[in-house]
Chain A
Amino acid sequence: MKRRLVGLAVLLGLALAAEGQQLYSQNCAGCHGANAQGIPGAFPPLAGNPRMQDEAYVIKVIREGISGPLEVGGQTYNGVMPAMPQVSEADAKAIAGYLKGLGAAAAEPAPAPTASAPAAPTDPALADKGRALFLGQQPFKNGGAPCMACHTAGNFGPMGGGSLGKDLTDLHTRLGAAGIQGVLSNIAFPVMRESYKGKPLTPEEITALTAFFAQTAGKPGNTATMDAARMLFAGLLGLLVLFGVMYLYWNNRRLGLAERIRRRST
Chain B
Amino acid sequence: MNVRAHVSMTFHLDKCIGCHTCSVACKNLWTDRKGTEYMWWNNVETRPGTGYPTGWEDQERFKGGWEKKNGRLELKLHSRARGLANLFFNPALPEIDDYYEPFTFDYQHLFNAPESDDQPVARPISMITGEPMNIAAGPNWDDDLGGSNLYAQNDPNWAGVSPEIQAQMAEIERVAFNYLPRICNHCLNPACVAACPSGAIYKRAEDGVVLVNENKCKGWRMCVAACPYKKVYYNWATGKSEKCILCFPRLETGQAPACFHSCVGRIRYLGVILYDADQIATAAHADTKDLVQAQLNAILDPFDPTVIAAAKENGLGDDWIQAAQASPVYKFVKVWKLALPLHPEYRTMAMLFYIPPLSPIVSSIEEGLVRLELPPEKIDFELFNHLEKARLPLEYLANLFAAGNVEVVKPILRKLLAVRIYKRRQSVEGHMDEATLRLVEAAGTTPEEIEAIYQLTAKPTLAERFVVPPYHREMAVEVWNDPLAHKGETGVGFIELPVRGD
Interface residues of A (CB under 8 A from B): 256-259, 261-262, 264-265
Decide if A261 touches B97 in the complex (CB within 8 Å).
no
Contact A257 B61 (CB under 8 A): yes
Which residue on A lies nearest to B156, using beta carbons?
A257
Q: Of all chain B residues, which has the CB nearest A257?
A: B55
- Taking a contact as CB atoms under 8 Å apart, the answer to whether A258 and B150 are in contact is no
Q: List 30 A-B contacts (CB under 8 A).
A: A256-B54, A256-B55, A256-B61, A256-B94, A256-B95, A256-B98, A257-B50, A257-B54, A257-B55, A257-B58, A257-B61, A257-B98, A257-B154, A258-B53, A258-B54, A258-B55, A258-B97, A258-B98, A258-B100, A258-B137, A259-B97, A261-B50, A261-B54, A261-B150, A261-B151, A261-B154, A262-B136, A262-B137, A264-B150, A265-B150
Closest to A254 in B: B61
Give the docked Cα–Cα distance between A264 and B50 (Å): 15
Within the assembled complex, what's the spacing in Å between the Cα atoms of A47 and B305? 102
The CA of A144 and the CA of B98, in the complex, are separated in Å by 59
1/0 contact string of B126-144 vs chain A (CB within 8 Å):
0000000000110000000
Which residues does chain B contribute within 8 Å of A264, judged by CB atoms? 150
Please name the residue on chain B nearest to A259 by beta carbon: B97
Which A residues are in CB contact (< 8 Å) with B58? Answer: 257
Chain B residue nearest to A253 in the complex (CB) = B91
Q: How far is the CA of A256 from the CA of B61 in the complex (A)?
A: 8
Q: Min CB distance, A250 to chain B, in Å? A: 13
> Whose C-beta in chain B lies nearest to the C-beta of A265?
B150
Residues of A within 8 A of B150 (CB): 261, 264-265
A256 to B136, CA, bound (A): 14
**B404, chain A: closest CB distance, angstroms:** 21
Tell me the minimal C-beta distance from A242 to chain B in angstroms: 15
Instruction: Kindly list chain A residues whose C-beta atoms are within 8 Å of the C-beta of B94.
Output: 256
Chain A residues whose C-beta falls within 8 Å of the C-beta of B54 in the assembled complex: 256-258, 261
B-to-A contact residues, CB < 8 Å: 50, 53-55, 58, 61, 94-95, 97-98, 100, 136-137, 150-151, 154
B16 to chain A, nearest CB (A): 24
CB-defined contacts of B55 to chain A, threshold 8 Å:
256-258
Q: Which residues of A contact B136 (CB under 8 A)?
A: 262
Closest residue of A by beta carbon distance from B137: A258
Task: Report the bound CA distance from A264 to B153 in whole Å.
Answer: 13
CA distance A261 to B150 in the complex (A): 6
Residues of B within 8 A of A258 (CB): 50, 53-55, 97-98, 100, 137
Inside 8 A of B100's CB, which chain A residues have their CB?
258
How many angstroms between the C-alpha atoms of A265 and B50 in the bound complex? 15
User: Within the complex, what minimum Cβ distance (angstroms) separates B219 from chain A?
Assistant: 22
Q: Which residues of B contact A262 (CB under 8 A)?
A: 136-137
Q: What are the nearest 7 A-B pairs in CB distance?
A: A257-B55, A258-B54, A257-B54, A261-B150, A256-B98, A258-B98, A258-B97
Shortest Cβ distance from B143 into chain A, in angstroms? Answer: 14
Question: Which residue of B is nearest A255, CB measured?
Answer: B97
Cα–Cα distance between A258 and B61 once the two chains are bound (Å)? 12
Question: Closest approach, in angstroms, between the C-beta of B225 and any C-beta of chain A?
Answer: 14
* Interfacial chain B residues near A257, Cβ < 8 Å: 50, 54-55, 58, 61, 98, 154
Most A C-beta atoms less than 10 A away, residue of B54, B98, B137 = B54
Interchain CB contact under 8 A, B97 and A256:
yes
Shortest B102–chain A CB gap in Å is 14
Give Cα distance in the complex from A56 to B55, angstroms: 86
Residue of A nearest to B151 (CB): A261
Residues of B within 8 A of A259 (CB): 97
Please, which residue of chain B has its CB at the minimum distance from the CB of A264? B150
What is the bound-complex CA distance between A261 and B95, given in angstroms? 15
Which B-chain residue is minimally distant from A262 (CB atoms)?
B136
In the bound assembly, the distance between CA atoms of A265 and B154 in angstroms comes to 13
Give A265 to B148 CA distance when docked, in angstroms: 11
Chain A residues positioned under 8 Å from B97 (CB to CB): 256, 258-259
Nearest CB in chain A: distance from B461 CB, A: 42
* Distance of A258 Cα from B138 Cα, bound (Å): 11
Q: Report A-chain residues with C-beta under 8 Å of the C-beta of B61.
A: 256-257
Max count, chain B CB within 10 A of own CB: residue among A261, A264, A265: A261
Q: How far is the CB of B157 from chain A (nearest CB, A)?
A: 14
Min C-beta distance of A216 to chain B, whole Å: 44
Query: How close is B60's CB to chain A, nearest CB, in angstroms?
Result: 11
Q: A257, A264, A265 — which one has the most chain B CB atoms within 10 A of its CB?
A: A257
Cβ of B95: which chain A residues have Cβ within 8 Å of it?
A: 256
13 more CB-based (< 8 A) A-B contacts, given A256-B61, A261-B154: A256-B55, A256-B95, A256-B98, A257-B50, A257-B61, A257-B98, A257-B154, A258-B50, A258-B55, A258-B137, A261-B150, A262-B137, A264-B150
**A256: B residues at CB distance < 8 A:** 54-55, 61, 94-95, 97-98
Bound CA–CA A41/B358 (angstroms):
103
| Set of chain B residues within 8 Å of A265, measured between Cβ atoms | 150
Chain B nearest Cβ from A256, distance in angstroms: 5
* Candidate in A257, A258, A264, A265 with the most chain B CB atoms within 10 angstroms: A258
- Quick one: closest A residue to B153, CB to CB? A261
> Cα distance A264–B151 when bound, in Å?
11
A residues within 8 A CB of B98? 256-258
Alpha-carbon distance A15/B368, docked complex (angstroms): 130
Specify which chain A residues have a CB less than 8 angstroms from the CB of B50 in the assembled complex: 257-258, 261
Question: Least Cβ distance of A84 to chain B in Å?
Answer: 49
